[in-house]
Amino acid sequence: MRDILPSELRSYLETAEPKPLLLDVREPQEYAYCHIEGSAHIPMNDIPSRLGELHPQQEIVVICHHGMRSRMVGDYLTHQGFSNIVNLRGGVDAWATEVDPNMPQY
């Protein structure tokens, strides 16, 4: 698993083909309050039961509020055989600060 900064992810999303899956693992109320456009939502605790919805070879950028839960999910996915996991360093909080100042913060 590797880390990516919000500004790096923004640039990468402009050119990446195919696009990575943006996987937001926050709680439903957090995701409803703010999220990166185009991100899929599977709460952290639901990952084991919904693992079949994810493709082990697909590039997956895991997102949470500050980057800690996403790192734990990324570690879990790696141990489950997923080979292309990226953690958004600083999470949506850093994304709002560095990339999208109009995104609500909490």
How far apart, in Å, are the Cα atoms of 94 and each of 48, 62, 79, 80, 97? Answer: 27, 14, 27, 28, 5
Q: Exactly one of 25, 64, 92, 94 is catalytic; name it.
A: 64
The residues near 12 (Cβ < 8 Å, ≥ 6 apart) are: 4, 20
- Sheet strands (E) in 1-106: 2-4, 21-24, 40-41, 60-63, 85-88
Catalytic: 64?
Answer: yes
Which residues does the annotation mark as catalytic? Answer: 64
